[in-house]
Structure 1
Amino acid sequence: MFVMSYLSHMLHLKSPSRRSSRAAACAVVILASVTALSSLGGLHAAPAMAVPSPSGQVHAGAGVNAAAVQRPSKVRVTAAVLSLDGGNGKPVLVGEDAPYDTASIVKVDILATLLLQAQDAGRNLPAAERALAEPMIRKSDNAATNKLWREIGGASGLREANKRMGLTSTKGGPGTKWGLTQTTASDQIRLLLSVFEGPATLKTDSPLNKDSRAYIRTLMTHVASDQAWGVSAVSGSDYALKNGWLQRTTSGLWDVNSVGRITVDGHPYLVAVLSDGSVSMSDGVSSVEQAARQALAATTKT
């Protein structure tokens, strides 16, 4: 709107014709420059404007959603931690175990669903699907996720797989908006138990076979360096994780999530931290990492 108003103003200035011509030309150049910048979309060095992807989310590198009107923050965070050393086999919860948007953590669920469907068909993932699965997990690639979301049958395919993995409170996003899938911290622990070995005191029977579980673990263990934040901040170098981040168009506030397996002082844990209502991506990351530390401390006391 500023550019258009500026253009209109410059075109109607009561000045000599040469000055008017120069002003109009400058305005056109400014308009063209802004249009070109806007078309760049999700750059890693955050531009001033970004348009939400079909996933219903804007990644951290995509900057601030131009359509969002930011409202006062009311941060909500829930963390769940399950010790894999033993105990009663129940996760320690900090915060209300309520539904949150998954953003990109749903990509682990999408891959698990894809692998289950392949197992049912008696086949391995072909090279084409692996070429999508790897950037989806390691780099959080949205374009690859869009294709695999369609491949699994969207929300209905996710629902059928989740029943088999014991998830009870996860609902796939509408249409192509996989980033708006709803889940709880407890359900994310259940999903992780289908991928990683559970504690000896907890009998888990994952529908994923050994090779499928190993494949997901390998990708989560080798995420790109710019993805290594969240629950990994509580760990040393031994971690496997998937993060998710989403700026809501209605409020301008951020959902930031992190799930995975970590090792602290030689002890392994499954951790899921979900949050929403942060005024910025960085604030959301800080809230997630702080909640992970608090939940881990609570777990070690039980």
Structure 2
Amino acid sequence: MDEYTLRTFLSLAETENTRDTAAFLRVNQSNVSRTLARLEAEVGTSLFTRHGRRLELNATGAAFRADAAAVLDAIDQARRHAEALARDARVLRVGFLHSLARWMVPDVIQRLRTLHPDLRITLRQGFSRDLYRWIEADAIDVVLANEPPSAIDGVEWSKLHEEQLCLAFSDTHPLAAIDRPTVKELAGQDFIGFSRITELHRVIAGLLADQGVEVNVTFESSEIDTMRTLVAGGLAASVLPRTPGRDDDGITYVPLDPPLVRELGIAWRSGTPAAEIAESLVDAL
């Protein structure tokens, strides 16, 4: 499985036709068909449902598509990084949580560019455990995320922001009729939870367990914006972090009692060129 194979697969997922993908990639149609056949043989299952000449992603193909796109994103980022180094550019590789893309990351990038106008910045998003694994492996320079769950030799972390965890529900949800609802009122309710690969899954699962509350999980996600949209639509209630200074139409937030916050900050490896940049950012913020 190589880069060309993955790009061919992603093109087929878009065009749903070997002829159009062949034209896009400027290769023979037979090459596209053989590439797809080799890929499906390698993964051990079909990735498309055939409707005559049209190809439609099946459930396995849809899941594989996300992974293939992530691999190609990583390849493209590695290529850009190498090109920047070849130009002797000053590069800072920033890794961040998916949920910070719309608010914390833009602010940090703007501050960095103000403080270090000559700095080139590359971005990579991931889950907390991946980000800290990458900084250990010197694949990124700084991390924008929650504090690592355990100490990492040589890595420092400083708090920049915090988000308050709240009950979240729509105006039409049964919880809206309760004055100051608590976690106890979630018992037996349909619930939108965090995916098990996220750091908030452990936090909220522990919260519910401590309160002896069992919920009916109807959906799990690692994308907070998706969860907010579904909560606003009245699908179910949830426990979500409330971003400072942000209002979400259609969602009522009730802070947890006792309060529970999600601390967010920046991590860097001490004694590296990135350390000075990260420390100047902490001072500025």
Q: TM-score, normalised by structure 1?
A: 0.21
Structure with larger RCO (C-alpha < 8 A, sep 6+): 1
Whose strand fraction is larger, Structure 1's or Structure 2's? 2
